[in-house]
Structure 1
Amino acid sequence: MNKQRPIIGITMGDPAGIGPEIIHLSLCKPSIYEICRPVVFGDAKILHAAKEFTNSNLDISVIEEPDAGLFKCGRIDVINLSGLDPAKTALGRPSAETGRALIFYINEATDMAMQKRISAIVTCPVNKTAMQLSGSKFHGHTELLAERTNSLDYAMMLAGDRLRVVLVTIHTPLKSVPLILSPGNILKTIRITWQSLQQNFGIDNPRIAVAGLNPHAGEGGMFGDEEKNIILPAVEAALNEGFNAAGPFPPDTIFYHAAKGDYHAVVCMYHDQGLIPFKLMHFNDGVNTTLGLPIIRTSVDHGTAYDIAGTGKADPGSLIAAIQMAVRQAECLSGLSKKQAEKQEKNVIQ
């Protein structure tokens, strides 16, 4: 087995959620070890307790450094970052203690990715209430990762085999969306999407569709003028910068055309505009990936599922897809770095 397989750091997520279970259900598959070297950032005792819920026979092995694992199917290599008592950690209930723990897992994995000690991070679900109880000012992964990596320009992409959507606004009340949208932030999202599709997904000339905001994309101003005054100027500016962007398109049709393969991604104006069609197609295998960071980050596209935590009903499909996507992105970036190094070497020789 190739020892150069990328090391993928998997953060355990909320200890009171289904993160520990889907880790067991994913890392019992030999196919994961054929493509990468997975390391869990989490809690060894909680992972051990989760064996009961999943009928897992995987061994839990504590390691100190990411490259110290055996990386063999049948064992989970974990960097132990908390010492929670499973008997006192109530499944399905957020707490300040679990909130502090899940943030620590994310921060440690992020720092190691920044230091190039791991190739990518894959995050299991966290709970906003647990984060708030811990005193965190963040409501989720994206903003926490952006600050930890000093990233100002970033975007959320939801990706599957048939559809990719990228959001201009994320967790914004619907009534506030028209007030926040501007040609500048739409252009920034198009730019980040185009660059990420090239570098992280290996697409030479990405085709990007931009959705309108209003029904029928405004119908020439009959149903709103945001398309004419805000979205179209951003698309035109993107074209002037050399990006293969088009729109604004009516939101009720553009996802159909994108799913057929006419476009590599759809830039969406608000959260539900993109996530409703995406989850209709990729409810069990969708992946959340943050674009614009100096590290690779993919994530499951679901929450902590408190209602089924500990029942053995968790579906690992999204985590498996997130690991696979992290590996593909790492390979694309590694290939790009190799090409850049070869080009620099060639220039030196000349």
Structure 2
Amino acid sequence: MDDYPRFTAAAVQAAPVYLDPDKTVAKAVALINEAAAHGASLIAFPEVFVPGYPYWNWTMNPVSGSPWFERLYRASIDIPGPHLNTLRAAAAETGTTVVIGVNERSSHSLGLLYNSVVTIGGDGSVLNVHRKLVPTWAEKLTWGGGDGSTVRVVDSAVGPLGALACGENTNTLARFSLLAQGELVHVANYISLPVAPADYDMAQAIAIRSAAHAFEGKLFSIVACSTITDEMIEVAAADDPKIAEMMRRPRSALSGIFGPDGSPVVESLVDDEGIVYADIDLARCIQPKQMHDIIGAYNRFDIFRLHHNTTPLRPVVLDGGDASSKNRAPAGPVMGPWRPDGHSDTSKELAPPGAEKPCGQK
């Protein structure tokens, strides 16, 4: 390509209005408008920002936490659905590309949730809905796993864009697949994790992972992390002062932006709410590739080969008739450009998996 986008990126570090999807989406819209007013073209939000993270999985036994799972399920969102439409409208009205984590309710199984990362284009199109492949440790009590159809790079106004949720950013093969699809802008979204082992510095861990992917791929990595509120502590601690103290542990959240040499482009934000901004020039990704291009000249594809299965996994395949669109995994653009009447371009509505070519193919 001859054009190398230059733009301002914004990494949002904030807490949701816990377990309240309406107020959390309203907060997200306000943050989108604030970031756009500061010139941001790409706005990244934390993991499962809508309507929050199930901290009780780490602090309660499964029986005690089960009622909170139902509370989270009832507060989660549908895709397509009205909460997503509100976010799409905000992206379209500001002309910004928005990447936001949500708890997504399955359309085929009552009670099934996914940890999903939604990428919305500047015209309100849903470019991708990525479902976290493997919920981490205690998260398996809440979320099902996604499939390879949503591990993909999309063409966006800010360049080839990919996203992974939290611990997925330690998955070398998932990261390599995004790089090999041409990723130049990566969004990694996280939650504040004060419930990790006492000697674990979450802020440092986020910085290490982000710098590693940026350096290995010679790209820009935008990192957005949530923060902890008293309401979250009240729920997860359940009157246990030791757990409450643990959940207030410092250095549990970091948001920032890292460049193709692995260095921070701007000072990262630790623990506090706020928005980190940085100017990005994708042309800076060119020269570093001359030395180490792991998806090009600095690899041996006659020796190493990655197989990425992009087939959507479905609970049932119905032969002899039209299968319900509800069983389609949300691979590729799910909804077309936003319209003021709240409808979408139906030519892209629930596009069959594989209908769109990978980023960079004509």
Q: Greater CA radius of gyration, 1 or 2?
A: 1
Fold-level similarity (TM above 0.5): no
TM-score normalised according to structure 2 size: 0.25
Q: Relative to total residues, which structure has the larger strand share, 1 or 2?
A: 2
Instruction: State TM-score, norm by structure 1.
Output: 0.26
